[in-house]
Amino acid sequence: MTRDNLNDLVAFVTVAREQSFTRAAAQLGVSQSALSHTMRSLETKMGVRLLTRTTRSVSPTEIGEQLLASLAPKFDDIYSELAALHDKKEHPAGTIRISATDFAIETILWPKLSPLMRTYPDINIEFINDYGLTDIVEKRYDAGVRLGGQLASGMISAKIGPDMRFLVVGSPDYFSGKTLPTSPQDLLKHQCINLRLPVHGGFYVWEFENDGREVTARVEGQIVFHSIFQIVKAAVAGFGLGHVPEELATPYLKSGELISVMEDWTPYWEGLHIYYPNRRGSSKAFSLVIEALRYRD
Q: In this predicted model, which residue has the larger pLDDT, 149 or 101?
A: 101
pLDDT, mean of residues 46-54 = 88
| 140 and 287 share one domain | yes
pLDDT, mean of residues 206-220 = 93
> For the chain, what is the domain count?
3
The model's confidence at residue 54, banded by pLDDT at 50, 70 and 90, is confident
Sign of the alpha-carbon torsion through 115, 77, 3, 58? negative
Among 32, 55, 83, give the residue marking a domain's end.
83
Least confident of 40-54, 163-177, 237-251: 40-54
| 9 and 132 share one domain | no
- Is residue 216 over pLDDT 90? yes
Q: In this predicted model, which residue has the larger pLDDT, 155 or 258?
A: 258
| 125 and 250 share one domain | no
| 44 and 187 share one domain | no
| 144 and 282 share one domain | yes
| 66 and 115 share one domain | no
Per-residue pLDDT reduced to its tens digit, 267-285: 999 999 999 987 655 688 9
**Angstrom distance (rounded) from CA 211 to CA 205:** 20
Taking all residues of the chain, what is their mean pLDDT, rounded to a whole number?
89
Least confident of 13-17, 229-233, 261-265: 13-17
Q: Is 116 exposed, middle or buried (0-12, 13-18, 19+ CB in 10 A)?
A: middle
Rg (CA), the chain: 24
pLDDT, mean of residues 85-110 = 86
| 70 and 134 share one domain | no
| 24 and 75 share one domain | yes
Q: In this predicted model, which residue has the larger pLDDT, 297 or 174?
A: 174
pLDDT, mean of residues 89-113 = 91
For the domain that residue 42 is a member of, what is the CATH number? 1.10.10.10
Per-residue pLDDT reduced to its tens digit, 154-207: 789 999 999 999 999 999 999 999 999 999 999 999 999 999 988 656 899 999
- Is residue 4 over pLDDT 60? no
Range of the domain at 74: 3-83
| 260 and 209 share one domain | yes
Farthest CA pair distance, the chain: 78
| 260 and 177 share one domain | yes
Q: What pLDDT, on the 0 to 100 scale, is given for residue 72?
A: 79
| 132 and 223 share one domain | no
Strands 51-53 and 58-60: antiparallel
Q: In this predicted model, which residue has the larger pLDDT, 279 or 294?
A: 294
Q: What pLDDT, on the 0 to 100 scale, is given for residue 278?
A: 73
**Angstrom distance (rounded) from CA 234 to CA 224:** 10
For the domain that residue 153 is a member of, what is the CATH number? 3.40.190.10
- Is residue 3 over pLDDT 60? no
Q: Tell me if 203 sits within 8 A of 194, measured CB to CB.
A: yes
Among 49, 67, 83, give the residue marking a domain's end.
83
How far is residue 136 from each of residues 24, 71, 75, 194, 270, measured CA to CA in Å? 19, 17, 16, 25, 21
Among 50, 65, 83, give the residue marking a domain's end.
83
- Is residue 37 over pLDDT 60? yes
- Is residue 88 over pLDDT 60? no
| 10 and 99 share one domain | no
**Angstrom distance (rounded) from CA 124 to CA 95:** 4
